[in-house]
């Protein structure tokens, strides 16, 4: 079945704040999910109770959270948000979490820097303004802390005891850390060829780390089987049976960018694509901001970024296809190495609807972009950040992105996790004896 667009969110007018809901068949947990009203199928619109399920029983389409959002006084809501904590919980009135979520045992991620990247803009010929949304400042140094924080609260509400995931690296670390903080058991699954830095970071939190021989897609299939087995009873797989809640964490990137820009939207956003969920949820967040009256309704373009060695969505976009053909990943950008991206068709819809595009870059271009960002802005990006910056440069060179328009590009992780990508071509400028003569002879004076 061809998947079409985003599900329409259910909203109702409430005077300025979200009204706590009573328990109901669609929401059996009272106000534990805040403004969330139900799960809704993105394909056929069928609605389900707020439970740990992720696929529609009618058409097998993916489920996402539908809301009763506070469509009353936007100025009141804006002030409520601005008075909140300096993390994602400032947006609790717009998320499937309880009102007191900021008081719970959680890593409290978010409110990361939006860096005005004037040096990089000059290098690339951008005149309309360039910003880097640098999510490497999160607790485990990737944007995955956002999505896990919300999945954790769902797991807590459902009474689950083990937090789990299939991961290309960053998610494994985020789950391990969040579980440790909240007192959950964790057991996470990764491909056996991940970068050593990510393996160590996932293991250090004391949970079980299981390496599986194969690609991420093999790992994900295994986790789907485990969910249906008695061995997986009581487990919350953040990106499988908790996926509808997990995905909502990416919306907070959209919220933060708009607030950090003075409650307005940029013209362009360049976002990395792994499963595609981050891109689709950022778009969902932008649409919510407009619907709530928190920002002016204006056009924006969304551009997706992939590594050439794992670029099924980019290939489909360029070919004009609606179906994404799976590939076997072969790239240094392992955090984006998902050969069968679940949200791929929706990413195509969003890029086309907004007038954006989807591009890809080679591993060599990824490394060059990592160094370019480090040299110009002092930000050491993970390989995924090299993909977005590399794609940004390519979009400008090919005329697909207007350099006179304001642009936000995403760095979703810390370069210290992917040292292998740059270490072969990065090192001392010179090795000298400890003398002034040697310093001068090396041409450094």
* pLDDT one-digit tens code per residue, 248-277: 999 999 999 999 999 999 999 999 999 999
DSSP 381-417: B-HHHHHHHHHHHHHHHTTSS-TTS-EEEEE-BBGGG
The per-residue pLDDT for 25 is 58
Low-confidence residues in the chain, pLDDT < 50: 1-23
* SS3 assignment, position 303: strand
Measured CA to CA, the distance from residue 147 to residue 291 in angstroms comes to 23
Measured CA to CA, the distance from residue 47 to residue 285 in angstroms comes to 20
**Residue for token digits 């090919």?**
398
**Residue for token digits 């803009």?**
121
The per-residue pLDDT for 278 is 97
Taking the CA atoms of residue 172, residue 177, residue 179 and residue 181 in that order, the dihedral angle to the nearest 10 degrees is: -170
β 162-166/358-361 pair status: unpaired
Give the pair of three-digit tokens for residue 277. Answer: 């969920």
The number of beta carbons lying within 10 Å of the beta carbon of residue 206 is 11
CB 433 within 8 A of CB 212: no
CB 264 within 8 A of CB 299: no
The per-residue pLDDT for 6 is 30
* SS3 assignment, position 376: helix
The per-residue pLDDT for 169 is 86
The per-residue pLDDT for 31 is 86
The per-residue pLDDT for 23 is 44
DSSP 175: H
The per-residue pLDDT for 386 is 98
The per-residue pLDDT for 20 is 32
For residue 277, the number of C-alpha atoms closer than 13 Å in the C-beta half-sphere is 24
What's the count of helices (H) and strands (E) in the chain, helices before strands? 15, 13
The per-residue pLDDT for 384 is 97
The per-residue pLDDT for 13 is 23
* SS3 assignment, position 195: coil
The per-residue pLDDT for 27 is 61
Measured CA to CA, the distance from residue 215 to residue 168 in angstroms comes to 9
φ/ψ (deg, to 5) at 429: -65, -35
pLDDT in tens, 119-176: 999 999 999 999 999 999 999 999 999 999 999 999 999 999 999 999 988 999 999 9
């Amino acid at each position: 079945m061809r998947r079409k667009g985003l599900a329409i969110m259910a909203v109702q007018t409430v005077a300025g704040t979200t009204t706590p809901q009573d328990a109901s068949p669609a929401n059996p947990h009272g106000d534990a999910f805040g403004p969330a009203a139900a799960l809704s199928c993105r394909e056929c619109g069928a609605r389900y109770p707020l439970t740990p399920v992720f696929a529609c029983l009618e058409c097998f389409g993916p489920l996402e959270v539908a809301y009763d959002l506070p469509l009353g006084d936007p100025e009141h809501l804006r002030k409520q948000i601005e008075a909140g904590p300096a993390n994602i919980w400032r947006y609790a009135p717009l998320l499937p979490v309880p009102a007191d979520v900021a008081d719970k045992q959680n890593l409290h991620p978010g409110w990361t820097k939006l860096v005005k990247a004037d040096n990089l803009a000059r290098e690339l010929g951008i005149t309309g303004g360039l910003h880097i949304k640098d999510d490497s400042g999160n607790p485990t140094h990737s944007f995955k802390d956002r999505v896990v924080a919300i999945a954790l609260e769902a797991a807590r509400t459902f009474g689950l005891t083990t937090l789990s995931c299939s991961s290309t690296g960053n998610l494994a670390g985020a789950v391990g850390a969040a579980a440790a903080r909240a007192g959950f058991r964790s057991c996470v699954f990764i491909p056996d060829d991940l970068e050593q830095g990510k393996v160590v970071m996932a293991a250090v939190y004391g949970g079980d780390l299981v390496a599986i021989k194969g690609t991420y897609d093999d790992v994900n299939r295994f986790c789907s089987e485990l969910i249906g087995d008695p061995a997986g009873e009581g487990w919350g797989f953040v990106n499988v049976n908790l996926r509808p809640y997990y995905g909502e964490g990416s919306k907070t990137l959209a919220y933060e960018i708009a607030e950090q820009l003075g409650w307005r939207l940029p013209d362009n956003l360049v976002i990395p694509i792994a499963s595609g969920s981050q891109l689709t949820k950022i778009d969902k967040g932008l649409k919510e901001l407009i619907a709530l009256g928190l920002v002016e309704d204006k056009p924006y373009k969304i551009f997706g970024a992939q590594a050439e060695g794992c670029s099924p969505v980019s290939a489909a976009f360029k070919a004009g296809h609606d179906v994404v053909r799976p590939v076997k990943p072969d790239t240094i950008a392992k955090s984006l190495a998902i050969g069968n991206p679940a949200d791929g068709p929706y990413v195509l819809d969003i890029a086309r609807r907004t007038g954006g595009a989807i591009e890809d870059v080679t591993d060599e271009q990824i490394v060059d972009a990592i160094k370019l960002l480090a040299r110009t802005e002092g930000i050491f990006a993970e390989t995924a950040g090299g993909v977005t910056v590399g794609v940004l440069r390519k979009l400008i060179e090919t005329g697909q992105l207007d350099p006179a328009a304001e642009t936000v590009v995403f760095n979703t992780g810390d370069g210290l996790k992917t040292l292998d990508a740059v270490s072969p071509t990065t090192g001392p400028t010179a090795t000298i004896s400890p003398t002034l003569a040697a310093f001068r002879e090396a041409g450094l004076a």
